[in-house]
Every structure is written in structure tokens, then in C-alpha cells.
Structure 1
């Protein structure tokens, strides 16, 4: 019963992260934070799944490594956009232009 409550909480965290990602699209920083929130909830789901079936936890470390790399890439994109455009609004520049 307790495990079911944990699964429900993690799924609610995932859905709230997806909802914030879909609803808040003005700032790049808020979008990146919601994506990190989703990745964290996916990591918790993966960790609980691997513990429940007593699988090897090595894959969770690989997933965590890739999520850290994804966060670093997102932060570098944010810094370069702020340096070139002055802010992180999506309305002030067009992404399709080169």
C-alpha cells in the first residue's frame, strides 16, 4: 500500500512538471527547470522500478549522468542566449532565424 502511494506521488510530480512545461513557455529558464523536474521524477520512477524487481541499479547511475549532461547543455544554451539577446524571453527573438 505504501508503494502505491509512492508511485502515485511520483506520477503526480511527473504530470505537474509536464503541465508547467506546456503552460509556461515565456522564459527559457522556467522551461528548463520544468524539464529538470520531469527528469528527476523519471529518475525516481526508474529507481523505484529497479528496486521493486531487484534489478541492477547501475542503469540509474547512467540515467543520472545523462540527465546531468542534459542540464549542463541547457544551462549553456541559456547563457549564450542571454549573452546574445539580453534576456531569456522567447518573444524577443525568433529561433528560426540564423
Structure 2
């Protein structure tokens, strides 16, 4: 079971590293990474009989991360009319 979590985690890391053209695809890769790390921590805590309070805090931070990413996506689309990361200028 844990090998599946490791495979999903590294696959999501590869998705995040190689899909760099669209902002939305980068956000989806990050959420996939968050989900598999949640599954891994859940399995780890269940194996060692720890409390699951940390997972609730982890999910709250994950939801905040998703909301912040979507608000940045809306801001980017309203300002530049696209979600391409190549068209951004920081200066």
C-alpha cells in the first residue's frame, strides 16, 4: 500500500516539474502532491496509532493553498487575459 503512495507522490512531483506552461496545470499538480502526501501521512499515523488532529490542520492548510492559488489564477487571467506562465514579466 505504501508503495502506491510513494509512486503517486513522485508521479505528482514529476507532473509539477514538467508541466510549466499553464498556471492551472501547475496548481493541479500541487493539489495532487498535497493529496498523496495526505494519504501517506494518514497511513503512517494509522500504522503507529497516532492521533489524527494533525491531519485536520494539514487539510485546512491545503484548502487555503488551493483558494490562494485559484485567486491568483483569477487575478492573472483578469490582468493578462491568459494563464500562460511564459507571458509573465516580474519587472
TM range (shorter): over 0.9
2:22 paired residue number: 27
Which is higher, the Rg of structure 1 or of structure 2?
1
Residue of 3, 10, 16 corresponding to 1:8: 3
Structure 1 unaligned residues grouped into runs of 5+: 1-5
Structure 2 unaligned residues grouped into runs of 5+: none
| Greater length-normalized contact order (CA 8 Å, ≥ 6 residues apart) | 2
Quote the offset at 1:91 in angstroms. 1.6
Provide the alpha-carbon RMSD of the alignment.
0.6
2:34 paired residue number: 39
Q: List aligned pairs for 1:47-66, cutoff 5 A.
A: 47-66=42-61
Aligned residue pairs total: 91
Q: Can you list the C-alpha shifts for 1:8-38, whole angstroms capped at 9, x where unaligned?
A: 0011100011001111100000000000000
C-alpha separation between the residues in 1 aligned to 2:26 and 2:17?
A: 9
Query: Structure 1 stretches (4+) deviating beyond 6 angstroms?
Result: none
TM-score (norm 2): 0.97
